[in-house]
Structure 1
Amino acid sequence: MATIIKRFLPRSLFGRWLMLLVAPIVILQALLTYIFYERHWDIVTRRLTLGVAGEIAVLIDTRRENTDPTVLSALIERMQRSLEMHVTFQPGGKLPSDLPPPRRFSILDRMLIQALGERLNDPYMIDTQRSSHWVTIYAQLPDALMTVVVPESRVFSSSTYVFMIWMASASVLLLGIAVLFLRNQIKPIRRLAEAADAFGKGREITDFRPAGAEEIRAAARAFLAMRDRLRRHIRERTDMLAGVSHDLRTPLTRMKLQLSLMPAGTEIEELKSDISEMEKMVEAYLSFARGHSEQPAQPTDLGGLIAELAEDVRRRGRELKVELDEPITLPLRRLSFKRALSNLVENALRYGRNVRLTTARHGSRIEIRVEDDGPGVPEKERHKVFRPFYRLDQSRHGSGNVGLGLTIARDAVLAHGGEILLGQSEMGGLQVTIRLPV
């Protein structure tokens, strides 16, 4: 039952707050209309209809008991002047047969028929539909047809309509004020969510400041403090990594120079190979560090960036097949994202002969795929290859694979608010899929 109820509840905070305001107003108006106004309407209309029915009954009894036409005429004239009741007698007349039936849901028709039934002993009919301001009552007397025309205001009170209109207008006005107030309260929450989303996507937040209620301001201040701590932590880590990597270059260069002055031998060549491997690792460290120290994201033509990457591959004598779905412009940190794509393409070129790079738009996200026809990555190893320094073939030294390529690529993609996935390519090798928010 609770699941069914939740299915119909609004999902947004604005919708739920609005429902909390609207539901009591609607319920209150329904109860007031049914309990108070409906009862008030019934009582007032009944008293009015009983009064008119009683006056008609008095007139009929007076006509039966008094045969003097002068007295009856004076009474009819007085009733017309004082009670706004127009009375006529048609000798030998019969009740009309073309009158519309009483309205089923009309309080006036129901109360008038009930009051006439209590006061009159003669057959009667009513007509409340042919005129919007007058009510006609027909009474079948033994020798004549009595027709009574009275204003509708004498048998029906329209003040209830006025009360209901005032109540509905006041409710709509208060509801409009409440909606404006809710919008102003929800706006800081939405801006906080947008700022958190932009920060998660690696985009610069420039115009965000705490606003709204005190609780919302506290959450915004906590977010800004968290953002500053994360930036400081990343900056310190990057500076430390860059400093250590840079300082390692000096002893490595000195060792390389000393080895070049020593006589050639197997051990010397092995040491040179190890130093070369260490130099590549240091370069990978610096490349990783530079990815964090780059400028904020800027609108970038993804097609142009991929074209530059394909041209770099062509200069090295290889071919990168590119398939672009449509022109795409995204806020990117150009150098770090190009480095990520370059690492993925280099891995594909290292292990495969044919490499394909495709882009496609799927709703609110962009997909970039790098595929090759190489040996691929076993499914049980795919969650490990993003670890720093992890290599599928640990015995492959001097291959140029330090073990940071996929780590740098994943770090750059995550910094843009995206995700990177590994799968099986239709070409037979590895398929790397990058998903970025638009």
Structure 2
Amino acid sequence: MSTQWLKPYMPRSLYVRAALILVLPVIVLLLVVGIAFLQKHLEDVTTQMTRAASREVNLVTDAMDEAETQQQALAAVRPDLAALEMQVRFLGINEEPDIGRRRWYDFIAPQVETDLRVNLPDLIAVALPSSQEARLYLPTHLGTLQLTFDRRRLSPAAPHQLIVTMVFFAIIMTSISFLYMRNQLRPITRLANAAQAFGRGRIEPYAPSGAIEVRAAGSAFLDMRARIERQMEQRTLMLSGVSHDLRTPLTRLKLGLSMLPEEEAAPLQQDVTEMQSLLDAFLDFSRGAADGATEEVQPEAFVRHIVDDAKRAGYEADLMSVEGQGTVRLRPTAIRRAVENLIGNAVRYGTKADVSLTLNPKSLRIRVEDDGPGIPADQRTEAVKPFTRLDPSRNQNQGSGVGLGLAIVADIARAHGGILRLAKSERLGGLCADIIIGR
């Protein structure tokens, strides 16, 4: 049978699920044992005890049938009262039976009263005020008779103690289980936090601990992290070497071209400039978010400084709105490169760039909008791929990029555990690019 309907109602946290696994069997056990105890044991024993007490009561009332006065009746049953451990008296003419209030936890009292009324059809009232005393009120030809005897002759003493004891020890054992479970889940939580931090570009200290399976997963994570770090380091070293090796001949070419006549050198100079631009863009993409360590950054001041630098560079850029306050842990150099790329694209394909910032407890969003031609919805996935140039939609005549601008931004966003989301700007009509990073 499918259980898909149950998934929306199930907790998503491992801790809560484990708690349910612990608590539900305990609750079911308490209910089953409690119901079985009440129905199979208490009810049967109570029925037998009330039947025996009812016979004794009938013995006392039968002994009074021959008496003509209350005093004679009391004298007739006095020898039996000592043996039966009962006390009797007749109520006054205007005296009403004193029933009193039952204890709220005396859940066996209704069963006692029901059995007594079955065995004593003429019973007027039953008073069960405590666990030590029971009073029965019966009609006789001499008046209403009150019989007082030990309550423990009608039902087992303190029948609630078993349930209370079960609940008490269930709470204690469940609490101990919760403490032990928390200690077992803590290594999993630490592993998840370390993996999440690494996904957001941070390296947090982590040492495998806990059960064997958790230690194995932790060791595998450390091996994976070490391999990725080595690959990133090797890529950075390789690209540094490539940068050095390629820039040197490019510089020699520039020097050589400077000695040629301007008319002859101009086309070649343009080729060298494009090669230099391609090399710089490729290195920026290869570095990705590897520049610098993560730091606590105040987003408003950080983004405002980037916008001010763009204005000084001659770009028409403005910080339109800021929502929320706080700090976020980022790689400032990488995020600066990403925002600068978005602003550069905005002013290259449009006339201005409007920047906005939204910070909430769950995420940071940096939005850059322009009034350019935008990117069609069916091409936005391709737009963030490396070396993809959507010239027809983005007006190639206004841009000389190599198709890495948005790819660099997407790579930096992913390195921070975030995403680059492209949409149409509702306000300006051009492209709306959002860098969204989880906190």
Spell out, residue by residue over 1:28-62, the C-alpha distance to the aligned partner (whole angstroms, 9 max, x if none).
Answer: 22222222343221232223222222122223333
| Rounded Cα–Cα distance in structure 1 between residues aligned with 2:339 and 2:319 | 13
| Rounded Cα–Cα distance in structure 2 between residues aligned with 1:275 and 1:68 | 134
1:76–1:98: structure 2 CA closer, same or farther, 3 Å change rule? closer
Letter aligned with residue 405 of structure 2: G
- The within-5 A match list for 1:359-374 is 359-374=357-372
1:176 maps to what in 2?
A: 175
Query: Is residue 203 of structure 1 aligned with residue 207 of structure 2?
Result: no
Letter aligned with residue 306 of structure 1: V
Scaled by the length of structure 1, the TM-score of the pair is 0.87
- The within-5 A match list for 1:8-47 is 8-47=9-48
Larger deviation, residues 98-107 vs 292-301? 98-107
- Give the total of aligned pairs: 430
Query: Is residue 107 of structure 1 aligned with residue 111 of structure 2?
Result: yes
2:415 maps to what in 1?
A: 415
Letter aligned with residue 169 of structure 2: A
1:271–1:15: structure 2 CA closer, same or farther, 3 Å change rule? same
SS of corresponding position for 1:433: strand
| Rounded Cα–Cα distance in structure 1 between residues aligned with 2:140 and 2:257 | 137
**What displacement does 1:363 show?**
4.9
Larger deviation, residues 3-12 vs 370-379? 3-12
1:320 maps to what in 2?
A: 317
| Rounded Cα–Cα distance in structure 2 between residues aligned with 1:97 and 1:147 | 8
Query: Is residue 402 of structure 1 aligned with residue 380 of structure 2?
Result: no
Larger deviation, residues 143-152 vs 192-201? 143-152
**What displacement does 1:332 show?**
1.1
| Rounded Cα–Cα distance in structure 2 between residues aligned with 1:204 and 1:433 | 25
2:260 maps to what in 1?
A: 262
Spell out, residue by residue over 1:175-215, the C-alpha distance to the aligned partner (whole angstroms, 9 max, x if none).
Answer: 11111111111221122211111111112212x22111111
Spell out, residue by residue over 1:280-321, the C-alpha distance to the aligned partner (whole angstroms, 9 max, x if none).
Answer: 122223333454442321001222222222222222333311
SS of corresponding position for 2:402: coil
**What displacement does 1:65 show?**
6.1
Whether the 8 Å CA contact 1:139–1:147 is kept in 2: the answer is: yes
| Rounded Cα–Cα distance in structure 2 between residues aligned with 1:100 and 1:169 | 30
1:233–1:397: structure 2 CA closer, same or farther, 3 Å change rule? farther
Whether the 8 Å CA contact 1:277–1:397 is kept in 2: the answer is: no
2:139 maps to what in 1?
A: 140
Instruction: List gaps (5 residues or longer) in structure 2.
Output: none
| Rounded Cα–Cα distance in structure 2 between residues aligned with 1:155 and 1:69 | 27
2:373 maps to what in 1?
A: 375
**What displacement does 1:69 show?**
10
| Rounded Cα–Cα distance in structure 1 between residues aligned with 2:305 and 2:50 | 92
Letter aligned with residue 421 of structure 2: L
**What displacement does 1:325 show?**
2.3
| Rounded Cα–Cα distance in structure 2 between residues aligned with 1:329 and 1:26 | 45
| Rounded Cα–Cα distance in structure 1 between residues aligned with 2:363 and 2:114 | 65
Letter aligned with residue 311 of structure 2: R
1:385 maps to what in 2?
A: 383
Whether the 8 Å CA contact 2:348–2:399 is kept in 1: the answer is: no
Whether the 8 Å CA contact 2:123–2:137 is kept in 1: the answer is: yes
| Rounded Cα–Cα distance in structure 2 between residues aligned with 1:413 and 1:50 | 81
1:304 maps to what in 2?
A: 301
SS of corresponding position for 2:382: coil
SS of corresponding position for 1:219: helix
Letter aligned with residue 294 of structure 2: A
1:331 maps to what in 2?
A: 329
1:120 maps to what in 2?
A: none
Which of 279, 282, 294 is equivalent to 1:282? 279
| Rounded Cα–Cα distance in structure 2 between residues aligned with 1:104 and 1:220 | 56
| Rounded Cα–Cα distance in structure 2 between residues aligned with 1:68 and 1:263 | 149
Larger deviation, residues 268-277 vs 147-156? 147-156
Whether the 8 Å CA contact 1:95–1:125 is kept in 2: the answer is: no
1:87 maps to what in 2?
A: 88
Scaled by the length of structure 2, the TM-score of the pair is 0.87
Query: Is residue 127 of structure 1 aligned with residue 126 of structure 2?
Result: yes
Whether the 8 Å CA contact 2:131–2:158 is kept in 1: the answer is: no
SS of corresponding position for 1:109: helix
Larger deviation, residues 39-48 vs 171-180? 39-48
Letter aligned with residue 405 of structure 1: G
Letter aligned with residue 209 of structure 2: A
| Rounded Cα–Cα distance in structure 1 between residues aligned with 2:31 and 2:231 | 59
| Rounded Cα–Cα distance in structure 1 between residues aligned with 2:14 and 2:49 | 50
**What displacement does 1:87 show?**
1.9
1:4–1:76: structure 2 CA closer, same or farther, 3 Å change rule? farther
Instruction: List gaps (5 residues or longer) in structure 1.
Output: 118-122
